[in-house]
Structure 1
Amino acid sequence: MKAIGITQFLEKSFDTYDIEGEWLDSFGLIEKNFKMSVTGDSGHGKTEFVVKFVKEICLKFKVKADYFSYEQGHSKSLQTAIQRNNMEEVKGKVMFMTGGTFDELLARLKRRASARIVIIDSQDYSELSTKQYKLLVKSFPKKSFIIVSWAKNEKPKNQAARDIEYMSCIKVYVNSFKAHPRSRFGGNKPFVIWDKKDSTPVQQKLF
C-alpha cells in the first residue's frame, strides 16, 4: 500500500501517446500502459480497426506490438488486412503469432525487449480467463493490452470478456465499420473504420 497527498497526486506525471487528429478526437491522450477492450459482431470490422490502431501507435511512437491471432491464425483474411493497411511501414515493429498456450504467451512477454503492446484476438477463441488477464496486467504493468471479443447485444458475449471490458480504460464497440469508444482519456468521438465514399466493395475491404 502506498499513500500520497493531493499536492503529490496533482504533481504526478503520466507517460502518454500524444496522438493527433481523428485518433485524439476518439481516444484522447492515451497512457502508455492502456488497456483496451474491442467488441463487435463478426464481419463488422474489429480486426480492421485493431490493425489500423496498432499501426498508428507503432509507426508514430516506434514501439513494438505482438498480435496473437488465436482466431484467424496466419490466414488469407488477416494477410489482406495487413496489405490493405500497408503494414510494411511498421516492418520489424509488429509480429503476428498463431496463438499458442497461455504459458507460451507469458514466456514471450518475459523476453528482454519484448513488445510494448499485446493484442489477443480473440478472447473467446483463446478462452483467456479473468484470472489470466489479471495476471498479465500485474506481471507486465508497463505493457498495453488490447483484447478482442465477440458481442451479444452490444456487449462482450461471455463473462470473462465482460470482466475484461469492465477493467479496461478504453472500451470500443465496433458496428457497421465504425468504432464507438468510451475512453477514460477523453475524446469519445466515433471513429470511421471504412468510409462509404470509398468505392471498394465492403465484402472485399473489411471483415
Structure 2
Amino acid sequence: MISNLSQKEVLILLLLEEKPPSRDFSLKNLPGESKVDVVARLILTLFPSFVETMAPQLQVLFTKESPWLLEVHKLPVEPSTPCDELEVAALIKKALNNEPLPEGASFHWQPVDNVGGYLRAIRAQGYQMFQLTENGQPLSHYKSVFQKEAKLCFVLGGRQDISIEYEAIITSLGGRKVSLGHKAYLASSCTTYLFYRLEKWLAE
C-alpha cells in the first residue's frame, strides 16, 4: 500500500459557464440551478476513491456574474457518507449558507475576483495543468509526466467546452490539451476514466 506521504495531488477543476447557485436553491430542481446536479455527481465519483495513490481535490468555479468557487476535499465520514446526488447537493447548500456540516465533510465556498488570476494562482502553486478536450493528445501521451509530477490539475467544462477566453489563459500557462478518446463523456464519467488510468500507471 502506498502511504499518504507519497500520494499524488490531483486537482479536478470544473469551469462552469453558469452563475453561482442561489442560497435558497431547490433540491427538487438541481439541473435548473447552476448545474448543481453535475457538481454533485462529480463529487460522488471523486470521494473517497483512490485514497491509496492519489489525494483528489475538486474545485468548481461558477464563472458568470460574480464568480464563486466551491472547494471540496472530503465527504462526511461513515456512517453518514452521502449515497446519492441529492444528499451531496444538500451539503453544497449547507456550505453555501455557512451551516454546520457532518463530521469529516470539507466543503468551502469563496468569491473569486478574477478568473484569470485564479487560474494563474493554481499554476503558481506548482500544478501541471491539462485541459480535457476531444481535440487533445491521447492521455497516454503524457503518461511519464503523470508519473513524474507531484501535482496535477485537470480542467474540464460541464456540458459544454471551456470558453475560448479561459482556454487561451490555460494555454498561456503551459496547459496541455489531453483527450480521453473520440467518445463524448459527461464530467463525472471523465473523472472516473481519468482516475482509473492514472491509478494503473502510478502502480507501475
User: Into which bin does the TM-score normalised by the smaller protein fall?
Assistant: 0.3 to 0.5
Structure 1-normalised TM-score? 0.35
Q: Greater relative contact order: 1 or 2 (C-alpha under 8 angstroms, separation 6 or more)? A: 1
